[in-house]
Amino acid sequence: MIKRIIQKSSVLVLLLLIIVCSCSSLKKQKTPEIVVTPLSDTVIMRPGSLIYALPMTVFKVTFQFERTIELPGPYSKYAGDLLGLTNVITQEDEHWEVRSISVSSHEEIDPSEYYVIGSNSLQQTNALALKKSGLILDLNPESDKPGLTGYDGNDFNINDFRTYDLGSDEYFRVQTDTAYRRASIDDQFIRIPYVVEKIKKFSPEELAERAAKRLMELREGKFMVLTGEANVFPQNEAAINELNRMEQEYSELFTGKVISEIRSFTYQFIPTSGMSGKPLCLFNFSEVTGPASDTTSSGIPVIIELSPEKKTKDITIISTQQGDPAASKTDRLYYRIPDVAVLKIKMGDEVLHNSRKLVYQLGQIVQLPANYIIGK
């Protein structure tokens, strides 16, 4: 009888030990093995902790302008009388025009949204999957400074493109004249003639006549070469090109020349929630002087407008209503869902660009269980 009592007691003790161990195991499983907390001065960094940041969108707007400079020739006012030309450049002028606009974006870390992942085990998380999706970012301190950056190229000296008459004709002529000097011979004064040479500069009209004559000779000579009437050598392509070059240079003495170049300017800016409905002035644009980063300068303001569509506004409400409110939120990964915004670039009342873009910092920050593995 005593032996049976002892056996029953042993079985009860064993069952109690199993129950206690099971409860202890269940209690340990409730303790999160991964802890995610926002980075602050009070956060203790332990070995093996991972710091990540939420992304923010940075826009890069590239403007391409065409700069056109008109330079008159030195004989422009004689073009009508000597060559019958009327549509010639008579005064120096500069003109700017917007050719194209391109908008691109990239993601940088948001300095206000750092998080620390601490783990007491080797349990997998979905941090890498979120990183590949671009919803979170590794630390990357490099970023471009917002603002207008100037023309990335070599500026030219406008004087190098001015037209001068450097032809084979002389600019001066020698004019001979007879002068007299008085001499005393046998108590008599007589006038003795002698020759005086004077160098006289041609007038602009005379130089224009000589240049026009040379131009007509070039055109006539080129015509004879091309038709085979002139038995001159060489008659190859290089000779024809040289005749064309000389003809153009002499023509530009009367017609002037037009210089054009394409210049690119880049503006980078970081959208904020406060931009909604508030246009941002990028720079002022003048058709005479081009873009100016100083918004107080003369010209038409070029502004950018960003209007969020607020497609993610209900995500936070839904996510907070789901799940157990009493559950700990330290085992959740924070990530950001971007919102769609309409981006417009205007110059005065004219819309230069209109597109829809994803903007991370205008979206919502939501949570995901840290031990949940995306795709599994």
The model's pLDDT over 186-203, given as tens digits with 9 standing for 90+, comes to 777 788 777 777 777 778
The model's pLDDT over 235-290, given as tens digits with 9 standing for 90+, comes to 677 878 888 888 998 899 999 999 998 988 888 889 888 887 788 888 889 998 88
Where among 233, 255, 277 does a domain terminate? 255
Do 46 and 139 share a domain, yes or no?
yes
Do 145 and 264 share a domain, yes or no?
yes
Query: What is the DSSP code string of 188-217?
Result: EEEEEEEEEEEEEEPPHHHHHHHHHHHHHH
Where among 236, 255, 274 does a domain terminate? 255
Q: Number of C-alpha atoms within 13 angstroms, CB side, residue 184? A: 1
User: How many CB atoms neighbour CB 286 within 10 A?
Assistant: 13
Which structural domain, as residue segments, surrounds residue 124? 34-68+99-155+260-369
DSSP at 43: P
* Dihedral sign computed on CA atoms, order 183, 186, 188, 193: negative
Give residue 236's pLDDT.
73
* Dihedral sign computed on CA atoms, order 362, 366, 370, 374: negative
The model's pLDDT over 325-361, given as tens digits with 9 standing for 90+, comes to 544 466 677 888 899 999 999 998 899 999 999 999 9
3-state secondary structure of 187: coil
Q: State how far the Cα of 329 lies from the Cα of 331, in Å rounded to an integer.
A: 5
Do 344 and 271 share a domain, yes or no?
yes
Do 46 and 192 share a domain, yes or no?
no
Give residue 77's pLDDT.
92
Residue 181 has pLDDT above 50, yes or no: yes
Residue at 264 is within a domain: yes
Where among 255, 281, 304 does a domain terminate? 255
Do 131 and 280 share a domain, yes or no?
yes
Q: State how far the Cα of 271 lies from the Cα of 299, in Å rounded to an integer.
A: 25
Nearest Cα to 107, choosing from 157, 47, 60? 60
Do 54 and 112 share a domain, yes or no?
yes
Q: State how far the Cα of 291 lies from the Cα of 288, in Å rounded to an integer.
A: 9
Number of structural domains in the chain:
2
Q: State how far the Cα of 321 lies from the Cα of 227, in Å rounded to an integer.
A: 91
Q: State how far the Cα of 328 lies from the Cα of 32, in Å rounded to an integer.
A: 9
Going by pLDDT thresholds of 50, 70 and 90, the confidence category of residue 13 is very low
Do 215 and 281 share a domain, yes or no?
no
Among 91-105, 128-142, 242-256, 264-278, whose mean pLDDT is lowest?
Answer: 128-142
CB of 71 closer than 8 Å to CB of 256: yes
Mean pLDDT taken over the chain: 75
* 3-class secondary structure per residue, 273-302: HHHECCCEEEEEEECCCEEECCCCCCCEEE
Cis check for the bond before 38: say yes or no (omega within 30 of 0).
Answer: no
Going by pLDDT thresholds of 50, 70 and 90, the confidence category of residue 25 is very low
Give residue 121's pLDDT.
55
Residue at 137 is within a domain: yes
The model's pLDDT over 111-123, given as tens digits with 9 standing for 90+, comes to 888 888 776 554 4
Q: Which helix (H) or strand (E) holds 16?
A: helix 2-29
Q: State how far the Cα of 145 lies from the Cα of 159, in Å rounded to an integer.
A: 35
The model carries a pTM of 0.66
Residue at 103 is within a domain: yes
Structure tokens at 230: 């002139």
Distance of CA 4 to the CA centre of its chain: 92
